[in-house]
Amino acid sequence: MLAELMKYLLVYLVSMFKFIGGPAVGAAFSLNNWLTAVMTVLGMMTTVFIISSFGLKFRMWLMRKFSRRADKKIFTRRNRRIVKIWRGYGEFGVSFFTPVLFSPVIGTLIVMTLGGKRKRIFTYMLISAIFWALTLSSFSDFLLDALFGL
């Protein structure tokens, strides 16, 4: 019983930092797909809650502590891509693709930095997390069997 609980805890912890890892860990341990999806959503949403609550304060502290040099470029290729995604898809689009393209930490910081509202960030990330967790957990057993013959 404790060993099973530790496996689900691992799914939760992995999902806090890399969403796709949660269903992969669940499939690797042959855990229940529904419980794996629930733990994956809880892991991501814990990160979203923490980052949306304290992320801007932490970012401001970092900027004060490690202030930029005046000659450092602001408009880099990476920053332009992020702004392009934001303009094309908005809060919902960035939130929707966060689990598969970014980590929960990076996706939440992107949405917050570009002006997303905390309540909408949480709502859109929750919708996205539920969709992707159910999708990835449902197909994880199939994918592991097809790729590795497990």
**pLDDT for 67:** 65
Number of domains in the chain: 1
**pLDDT for 46:** 96
Q: Which residue has the tokens 């920053």?
A: 79
Distance, CA of 119 to CA of 55 (rounded, Å)? 14
**pLDDT for 66:** 67
Q: Which residue has the tokens 């960030």?
A: 121
CB 93 within 8 A of CB 120: no
Residue 83: C-alpha distances to residues 22, 91, 111, 112 (Å): 28, 11, 10, 12
Q: Mean pLDDT in runs of 10 for the chain (150 residues)?
A: 93 95 90 94 96 78 66 73 81 89 88 86 95 91 71
The parent domain of residue 80 ranges over: 2-148
pLDDT digits 0-9 by tens, 117-148: 889 999 999 999 999 999 999 887 777 777 77
pTM: 0.81
**pLDDT for 62:** 65
**pLDDT for 6:** 95
